[in-house]
Amino acid sequence: MKNKLRNRNSLAHDSLTTAPAAAAAAAVGTSRKMATLARTLHLVSRIRPSTVLSILPRAAAVGCLHTTSLQEHRGVSRVVQPAIDKTSWCSSSVRDYSSKPPLTLDLIQQRVLLVLKLYDKINPEKLSVESHFMQDLGLDSLDHVEVIMAMEDEFGFEIPDADAEKLLRPADIIRYVADKEDIYD
């Protein structure tokens, strides 16, 4: 029984697991739970084979999974704290619609400016929070539509046309997103 368990754990260890599963893994200590956990991990690794990205946070989580399996082997049951910081949105490659990463005004600003800097037709040196799209950055109305679509994709909710035509600066976009997401700080 213990041999089969160790094999299962090493299999899960090879295919780096997703963050929520690893976090769930980290909170478990006893051997019975490890069996069900290994089964879920096996299922999870089958459902999402393409999450072998962003090695560092996951490796930390898998490291603690490995330590729990060792402890289980030694017969000690202990709750292990998850080692990943789920709030770092840069490292998650999968978008969860059930819970978004916690937003602050600063984070929204960074994301908006990043998306705008990645756009070809904008000169990143001229870009600032108060720069007007049409006048300062020389964008077209169709370019403006593309920028608004990029913002929709970034933040995950749709911006209707009536609101979109009023968002002519990055500062307006940041304020709009903060209003929609109810962020005041």
Partner 1 sequence: MSHIVTRVTTHSRKVCSLYKRSLRNLEAWYMYRYRAVLLRARFDENKDVKDMRVAQQLLDEGEKELFSLIHYQPRQFAYSPGGVAHGREVVPPDWVLDYWHPMEKAAYPEYFARREQRKKEYIEWWEKTYGKPAEPAH
User: Given the complex with partner 1, which of 81 and 141 has the nearer CB atom?
Assistant: 141
143 is catalytic: no
Q: What gap in Å lies between CA 59 and CA 43, rounded to an integer?
A: 19
- As measured in angstroms, the least distance from the Cβ of 37 to partner 1 is 30
User: Given the complex with partner 1, which of 85 and 158 has the nearer CB atom?
Assistant: 158
Burial of 12 (0-12, 13-18, 19+ CB in 10 A): buried
Among 14, 85, 140, 179, the one annotated catalytic: 140
Which stretches of the chain are DSSP H helices? 2-14, 19-26, 31-47, 55-74, 105-118, 141-155, 161-164, 170-181
User: Given the complex with partner 1, which of 85 and 152 has the nearer CB atom?
Assistant: 152
- As measured in angstroms, the least distance from the Cβ of 161 to partner 1 is 6
User: Given the complex with partner 1, which of 108 and 155 has the nearer CB atom?
Assistant: 155
Between CA 88 and CA 109, with CA 19 as vertex, the angle to 5 degrees is 20
Q: Which of 16, 182, 168, 1 is nearest to 93 (CA)?
A: 16
Q: Is 100 helix (H, G, I), strand (E, B) or coil?
A: coil
- As measured in angstroms, the least distance from the Cβ of 164 to partner 1 is 8
* Angle between helix 105-118 and helix 170-181 axes, rounded to 10 deg: 130
* 70 contacts 47 by C-beta, under 8 angstroms: no
Contact residues: partner 1, CB under 8 A? 97, 141-142, 144-146, 148-149, 152, 156-158, 161, 165
- As measured in angstroms, the least distance from the Cβ of 155 to partner 1 is 10
Give the catalytic positions in this structure.
140
